[in-house]
Structure 1
Amino acid sequence: MRITKTQDGPHGIIFSCISARAMSLITTLAATFSAVNSEVVGILRLATYSTLLTERTVMEVFTAIATALTPILLSIVGFILWKYRQAFERKARLEQDLRDERIGLYDKILEPFVILFTSDAAWKKDRKNRNKNKYGVAEEKMLSLEYRKVAFKLRLIANDEVLRAYDNLMSYFSDSSPDTFTQEKNLVLRLQKMRELLGNFLLALRKGMGNEDTELTSEEMAAWIFNFKLEIEQTKREERM
């Protein structure tokens, strides 16, 4: 141990005792702390660099994958859109073909009813019809093999509403005996009911041709066929003659 004697002024004597071992320990600790601090700083720098390197590597990998997959994804999307367009165009062509075919079928299906509801005056104006009964002609057409073929084909391409309306119309027409059709006691009610059913059928045809949002009623659809009251009165007068 070293003792140092100093004089601080005339009256003060200060003795300082410094341990060499303590000084050595302090020096060692300071050096150790400095070394540890350097190591920590190095580790932190290395970790930061590694993190930056890892993020950069990940971004490069993702960029490479995206670059490689972009043509493939575009090809897949293009193929899907092409298939969808092909299906849409095919459906549109099919609908157009069916529409044209339906028009021809509907004309043939409606022909007996057009004859049936033609006024007697208009019917007799045609020379080939002067000696023919329009009710008999209409019935003959409905019972013909050709008409049955048309009706069968109708069941394949017409929608459900059209088929139901047609079945109701034909069922009512076939339920009654033909020889009682022109009898006055049955004529008014029968024509009225058939006009109603025919109106339903025409309305179903109109909707089936693409006019689903039509505001017309079945009565309005059948109104153009003939003036019901005038036709009934004319028929009654002709029967009394």
Structure 2
Amino acid sequence: MFHKEGYKIIAITFIIVVGSYLLIDALIALNWLKTLLFAVVGIFLILILQFFRNPKRNTVNNDNQVLSPVDGKVVVIEEVFEKEYFKEKRLQVSVFMSPINVHVTRYPINGKVVFSKYHPGKYLVAWHPKASEENERTTVVVESNSYGKVLYRQIAGALAKRIVNYAKVGDTAIQGSDSGFIKFGSRVDLFLPLDTNIKVSLNQKVRGGESIIAEI
């Protein structure tokens, strides 16, 4: 299954690949070179298809847990001052996505979307300390009756040029369901209450909609 954000790019890629195969076959006489170019074009197609894959996830809905919004590796667990919305100290958990990870963003908790804002910005590498404040990004806050408010921030990386955010103020957030997509390398930050029981460790690999980041 592929994400809807990739349909157009996948269709264009197929056209380019078919055209490239026809041109290579018509213009290249050397068999070894023809085979090499066919392989390069084929690998390009496979990479595009892999990037836009949208595998089904078995989300166990639980109002007492915060699930990872994305696939990737935990790169930050620390207490910080969140400047944009809470304007107070929060626990930050950041997940870095490489280009080969699934790039679907999923709601980490159940609740109501109470804040959603897009910020244009730079394209620093996603692990840069200032990426959370200076890169292209979206900030979404979901309020749960049992857990309170959780903020998650989609952050573009050096390769990402477009962040897709479906969350609108007033929307009902369903834990594990699709809330957006980031194209070509990025990171997502979670900002949680200070008394949150963190269930992950640095460098741990997590899966969006399945891995438990924290519990009440």
> How does the TM-score come out when normalised to structure 1?
0.20
Higher Cα radius of gyration: 1
The structure where strand makes up a greater share of residues is 2
The structure where helix makes up a greater share of residues is 1
